[in-house]
Structure 1
């Protein structure tokens, strides 16, 4: 069975590189599933979870705070604004980021400030949801 190569990169650096049977990503219009030989695709990502199913072993999960997804028949590239490995998930930091974003939203004075605060809150809420999901799934194993 064919595999697809995936690279996840953010401004902080290289996050992941490897082979996969399937990749799932939070595209702007909804989650997309990518298998080997997928048609070429270029789309924006919204904050959420990228799931990678390697040829062997357990599914890997990564948080992305938005970015660009490029798909070629045997290559998936995620260019994330921010990215986080599941093993690096920190619930306290995610909760603090969400609270800071809520405070910015409450104090927004212009439409631009409001839009920025809303975007930060969406990303922070998605990150917190990711961290809590990882934490809960590790309790069950």
Structure 2
């Protein structure tokens, strides 16, 4: 099966790079799945999880906050404002951050913490 090359980049560092058979992401226009041979596309990412499915069947899950995706010539670039791999998320720390955000009524921090928890839980179900 043809693979596509994927690079997930946060504003300040490369988060993940490798080959995949499909990538699922959420854009402002809706959900999108990208496979090799997809029509070239440019989209604006929403804060949500991105799932990168490798040929082995393993899923790489990331919490992504804003940014863009670009696909052409079997190369997908996910350029996020911030991104974190689910496997690197400390669930207890994310839960504490969510509680702090709720206590301080910081809606943006609350959304970020909720997404980190969602990504960490999504990894368990993949």
Q: 2:110 aligns with which of 102, 114, 121?
A: 121
Q: Which residue of 2 aligns with 1:53?
A: 53
In structure 2, C-alpha distance between the alignment counterparts of 1:74 and 1:92, rounded to whole Å: 37
CA 1:58–1:12 in 2, change beyond 3 Å: closer, same or farther? Answer: same
With the length of structure 1 as denominator, give the TM-score of the two structures.
0.78
* Structure with the higher helix share, 1 or 2: 1
SS where residue 39 of structure 1 aligns?
A: coil
Check the 8 A contact 1:44/1:66 in 2, yes or no. yes
In structure 1, C-alpha distance between the alignment counterparts of 2:101 and 2:29, rounded to whole Å: 24
Equivalent residue runs for 1:56-67 within 5 Å: 56-67=56-67
Check the 8 A contact 1:25/1:45 in 2, yes or no. yes
How many residue pairs were aligned?
126
**What is the root-mean-square deviation of aligned Cα atoms in Å?**
1.9
Check the 8 A contact 1:94/1:131 in 2, yes or no. no
CA radius of gyration, larger in: 1
With the length of structure 2 as denominator, give the TM-score of the two structures.
0.86
* Structure 1 stretches lacking a partner, 5+ long: 106-116
SS where residue 2 of structure 2 aligns?
A: coil
